[in-house]
A and B are shown apart, each in its own frame.
Chain A
């Protein structure tokens, strides 16, 4: 498995989730455990660019995959534009759901860029997704926030991606 660009090898108990592998074995505690049952989105990471829930992913099933966590979002020039936007728009309070939101939004932008519709998309056959507020809110509804930073989160995502879907993904 590659994690944030680095090859990692770990012998794991088949019971070990990708989330626990990241947090306990690899020491990458940026990915959070909010429910451990796929109901909150705090553990969202990218597997080959697709957003998934690492708590419901058995680590053994992800051998050979490229995993990106919040620790791997930043580029050589510093934080990812979305990370900066979260700060600018106060898109978090306690920060516990934040890594999951960030990874989820990056994956969401890629989905939108390739035209994946959502439940609120009026025309399912449209070629292009316009990431308006409703689209962002629906597509991000798998990430819970209890502090109530929803407005800032949506604003940060809109500022980063709404101009052109996925252009900065």
Chain B
């Protein structure tokens, strides 16, 4: 390699096709200085001093406060609606119901168009129909929040209820229906898995259940809405600014460019922050009232009007030879859904990619309930699917009398198990070995219930973690290079706490050959370029590819500006790269000219390069997944059945790690949500009414500090040659495998196998 005096090589244009043989130059550590550094969060000081403003923290003159009244039946019609007392209450400016709400188009359902962002497709407050228990039926606007909240309680409603399906058992008895996974097949088969299962030397065949889960971001959903003529401005808390803007434009029948959404910071999202009813209601009410409106959902509103992760019932059957080779993997079952949107849990994702087997039968179906539309939550499918699959493998290991890690290693695939695509930088075996050594797996007593400390039984468990590499089409970036050598990079992306802005600043600095302080990364605004959703753990790759495309364009523009006198004269875009605040020849970095000199000589103050990322061909050409090996130690009280996670190690294989500090926090965050999934979290819907019973953070138990041990992390840090910067997604994988690792450790501690989550004390008595 040819390097500069500083020992670095120029960063040339990224590949035209990420599936091809040429990797992103930034996968090469010799070309990077900032990638891999544990840079502290750029917005850290603003966050710890309380200066960051969230969606409900913008005030405007004349702003009104909104409160919701919600249905108390699951299905039927509103037959009486008395709003007179509410309208007369002090401070009330407007009570909006289906009678006086402006006519609006239905929400464009997510997936129905590349830009569609609605997580529900029902018309919002357009008729007298009730579709779920908790559906908003009126919005009150008042001068203060106290006045609005009080007036909302004065609305009197009469209903004509209709028969509704509100229990899971009834929904399943009504028959389940096939579904798709993000438009792809919801069913995958290879060979005759049932026959192979029957013929196998050893097999397990069990049913696993997972309940509804709520995202429970600490910031409740909120929006501050202003109309200026037919132009709509929204301070929102959303993981999809561009999708939301396009969808709101469709709903109100106005051009897309007349809707402007700003959401630079979110108080957590986890899949729950998209386009729901509240933004539409606030915008409609604001239009009617002719004043700005703030809608800040109460915590109860969040539980009743924003979708949750759906409950599932999953069968996992695995047949194996006596020496532990998988003959059949069967993973089927159903997940709950409403009729107005289907984001069911694709729990077969882990079984599709983690193990080799001679035959497969995988399928997700849905059971319909009259309930709030469910939605994606951190690692949809993977979080709950890995629980079932990885517990079943542990159960099989017990039957085989084999170490569960050894059993997994024995079934490591050499290609994507069902369709045979080539693997891309899969190093799960290495992660298992490194993790087992660091965790001290060899100290595990394989006999359940054999290790005791007073009343506490101690056990160890493990499980594989996995999450697909995702990069959706449509991400774009705009680079503005200034004469003083600073660069602004703009992408309609999001930072809900993942560290996106910090990590991307590092990446951009390396790609452009700048120092991080010379880079400004702008995000969280629908007016910025492109379409990037903070979902699928894709932002690092999606933004990385967009910036890479814009960088290619920037190099081309820069070369057009250099004159014959430049050391770069005569070079083609593919022959140059960024280095040390300028452009250098790839094969001779001494041929270098600074950005400042190039712009100066050309008499330009700035240069703007904008491009859309290359289509994600790597997704279809390669088998690309993040993986991890999760290890856990638990203590279980033999008196009370209380479970405490005392040690945890994630040994991750997610390609190159851009920022070890924020990446570790991402992994830990997922793992801690996995502790909640394993031990404490269950959103209860009343079987009789479909109404959320525990609609509060006192009753929906997310882990508290005392539930969370110190979580150890290691990673392979092996770049994926087909991912921008060699980095695959890291945001969701932590929650996968964790539930099973804990359940398997509980089994090792107690000999009790709990197959329905969460593992609360009553299940271990």
Query: Are A and B part of the same complex?
Result: yes
Q: Which of B51, B267, B496, B672 contacts A30 (CB 8 A)?
A: B51
> In the complex, how many angstroms separate the beta carbon of B208 from the nearest chain A beta carbon?
24
Q: Which of B41, B54, B146, B268 contacts A13 (CB 8 A)?
A: B146
A94 to B524, CA, bound (A): 14
Question: With an 8 A cutoff between CB atoms, is B22 at the interface?
Answer: no
> In the complex, how many angstroms separate the beta carbon of A14 from the nearest chain B beta carbon?
9
> In the complex, how many angstroms separate the beta carbon of B609 from the nearest chain A beta carbon?
31
Interface residues of A in 16-44 (CB under 8 A from B): 16, 20, 23-24, 27-40, 42
> In the complex, how many angstroms separate the beta carbon of A84 from the nearest chain B beta carbon?
8
- Which one of B72-80, B241-249, B541-549, B696-704 is at the interface? B696-704
A120 to B, closest residue via Cβ: B706
Given A137-B705, A141-B704, A153-B705: A35 in contact with B53 (beta carbons within 8 A): no
Given A37-B696, A147-B268: A140 in contact with B50 (beta carbons within 8 A): no
A70 and B49 contacting across the interface, CB-CB below 8 Å? yes
Chain B residues in 8 Å Cβ range of A138: 705-706
- Please, how many residues of chain A have a CB less than 8 angstroms from a CB on the other chain? 63
A34 and B219 contacting across the interface, CB-CB below 8 Å? yes
Chain B residues in 8 Å Cβ range of A102: 48
Contact with A along B59-73 (1 / 0, CB 8 A): 100000000000000
Q: Which of A35, A70, A87, A94 contacts B497 (CB 8 A)?
A: A94
Interface residues of B in 245-275 (CB under 8 A from A): 265-270
Chain A residues in 8 Å Cβ range of B668: 148-151
A94 to B, closest residue via Cβ: B497
Chain B residues in 8 Å Cβ range of A30: 49-51
B662 and A32 contacting across the interface, CB-CB below 8 Å? no
Chain A residues in 8 Å Cβ range of B218: 32, 34, 40, 42, 94, 96-97, 144-146
Chain A residues in 8 Å Cβ range of B298: 36
- Please, how many residues of chain B have a CB less than 8 angstroms from a CB on the other chain? 62
A147 and B696 contacting across the interface, CB-CB below 8 Å? no
A42 to B571, CA, bound (A): 57
Question: With an 8 A cutoff between CB atoms, is B171 at the interface?
Answer: no
Given A24-B145, A29-B53, A146-B268: A98 in contact with B705 (beta carbons within 8 A): no
Interface residues of A in 123-154 (CB under 8 A from B): 133-134, 136-138, 140-154
Chain B residues in 8 Å Cβ range of A97: 218, 267
Chain B residues in 8 Å Cβ range of A142: 704
A39 and B697 contacting across the interface, CB-CB below 8 Å? yes
Chain B residues in 8 Å Cβ range of A143: 705
A88 to B, closest residue via Cβ: B40
Question: With an 8 A cutoff between CB atoms, is B104 at the interface?
Answer: no
B497 and A93 contacting across the interface, CB-CB below 8 Å? yes
Q: Which of A38, A71, A136 contacts B50 (CB 8 A)?
A: A71
A92 to B, closest residue via Cβ: B47
A87 and B41 contacting across the interface, CB-CB below 8 Å? yes
B708 and A151 contacting across the interface, CB-CB below 8 Å? yes
A83 to B46, CA, bound (A): 10
A151 and B219 contacting across the interface, CB-CB below 8 Å? no
Chain B residues in 8 Å Cβ range of A153: 705
Chain A residues in 8 Å Cβ range of B266: 94
Chain A residues in 8 Å Cβ range of B52: 95
Instruction: How many A-B residue pairs have C-beta atoms within 8 angstroms? Tell me.
Output: 180
B697 and A35 contacting across the interface, CB-CB below 8 Å? yes
Contact with B along A84-107 (1 / 0, CB 8 A): 101110101111111100100000
Chain A residues in 8 Å Cβ range of B672: 148, 150
Question: With an 8 A cutoff between CB atoms, is A79 at the interface?
Answer: yes
A15 to B298, CA, bound (A): 16
Chain A residues in 8 Å Cβ range of B329: none
Question: With an 8 A cutoff between CB atoms, is B498 at the interface?
Answer: yes
Question: With an 8 A cutoff between CB atoms, is A160 at the interface?
Answer: no
Q: Is the interface of A mostly helix, strand, loop or mixed?
A: loop
> In the complex, how many angstroms separate the beta carbon of A130 from the nearest chain B beta carbon?
17
B50 and A151 contacting across the interface, CB-CB below 8 Å? no
Interface residues of B in 487-512 (CB under 8 A from A): 496-499
Given A36-B298, A94-B267: A141 in contact with B705 (beta carbons within 8 A): yes
Chain B residues in 8 Å Cβ range of A134: 706
A39 and B696 contacting across the interface, CB-CB below 8 Å? yes
Q: Which of B56, B146, B296, B498 contacts A93 (CB 8 A)?
A: B498
A136 to B672, CA, bound (A): 17
Question: With an 8 A cutoff between CB atoms, is A54 at the interface?
Answer: no
Chain A residues in 8 Å Cβ range of B528: none
Question: With an 8 A cutoff between CB atoms, is B220 at the interface?
Answer: yes
Q: Is the interface of B mostly helix, strand, loop or mixed?
A: loop
Chain A residues in 8 Å Cβ range of B269: 94
Question: With an 8 A cutoff between CB atoms, is B216 at the interface?
Answer: yes
Contact with A along B653-689 (1 / 0, CB 8 A): 0000000011011101111110000000000000000
Residue of B43, B220, B734 most packed against chain A (CB within 10 A): B220
A37 to B702, CA, bound (A): 16
Chain A residues in 8 Å Cβ range of B47: 92, 95, 98
B40 and A137 contacting across the interface, CB-CB below 8 Å? no
Chain B residues in 8 Å Cβ range of A137: 705-706, 708
> In the complex, how many angstroms separate the beta carbon of B25 from the nearest chain A beta carbon?
29
A12 to B, closest residue via Cβ: B146
Chain B residues in 8 Å Cβ range of A93: 268, 496-499, 665-666, 669
B705 to A, closest residue via Cβ: A137
Question: With an 8 A cutoff between CB atoms, is A74 at the interface?
Answer: yes
B40 and A90 contacting across the interface, CB-CB below 8 Å? yes
B57 to A, closest residue via Cβ: A29
Chain A residues in 8 Å Cβ range of B661: 90
Chain B residues in 8 Å Cβ range of A40: 218, 697
Chain A residues in 8 Å Cβ range of B704: 141-142, 144
> In the complex, how many angstroms separate the beta carbon of B68 from the nearest chain A beta carbon?
14
Chain B residues in 8 Å Cβ range of A136: 705
A36 to B525, CA, bound (A): 28
A128 to B565, CA, bound (A): 75
A134 to B646, CA, bound (A): 11
Given A138-B705, A154-B705: A90 in contact with B662 (beta carbons within 8 A): yes
Question: With an 8 A cutoff between CB atoms, is B640 at the interface?
Answer: no
A144 and B50 contacting across the interface, CB-CB below 8 Å? no
> In the complex, how many angstroms separate the beta carbon of A102 from the nearest chain B beta carbon?
7
Residue of B54, B268, B705 most packed against chain A (CB within 10 A): B705
> In the complex, how many angstroms separate the beta carbon of A161 from the nearest chain B beta carbon?
15
Question: With an 8 A cutoff between CB atoms, is B710 at the interface?
Answer: yes
B673 and A148 contacting across the interface, CB-CB below 8 Å? yes
B703 to A, closest residue via Cβ: A150
Chain A residues in 8 Å Cβ range of B697: 34-35, 37, 39-40, 144
Residue of A102, A140, A147 most packed against chain B (CB within 10 A): A147
A141 to B698, CA, bound (A): 12
A132 to B421, CA, bound (A): 50
B300 to A, closest residue via Cβ: A37
A79 to B51, CA, bound (A): 12
A138 to B696, CA, bound (A): 21
Question: With an 8 A cutoff between CB atoms, is B711 at the interface?
Answer: yes
A91 to B, closest residue via Cβ: B48
Contact with A along B617-634 (1 / 0, CB 8 A): 000000000000000000
18 new A-B contacts, CB < 8 A, other than A94-B268, A140-B705, are A23-B57, A30-B49, A33-B220, A35-B220, A36-B299, A71-B49, A84-B48, A87-B44, A90-B40, A90-B664, A93-B665, A95-B47, A95-B265, A97-B267, A102-B48, A134-B706, A147-B665, A151-B710
Interface residues in chain B, defined as those with a beta carbon under 8 Å from any beta carbon in chain A: 40-41, 43-45, 47-54, 56-57, 59, 144-146, 150, 215-220, 265-270, 296, 298-299, 496-499, 661-662, 664-666, 668-673, 696-698, 702-706, 708, 710-711, 734
The 8 closest A-B pairs by CB, nearest first: A30-B50, A96-B267, A148-B669, A94-B497, A93-B497, A95-B47, A148-B672, A70-B50
Ordered by A's residue number, 20 sampled pairs between the chains whose C-beta atoms are within 8 Å are A13-B146, A15-B150, A29-B54, A34-B299, A34-B697, A35-B698, A39-B698, A70-B48, A79-B49, A83-B48, A90-B41, A93-B268, A95-B52, A96-B267, A97-B267, A102-B48, A146-B218, A148-B669, A150-B672, A153-B705
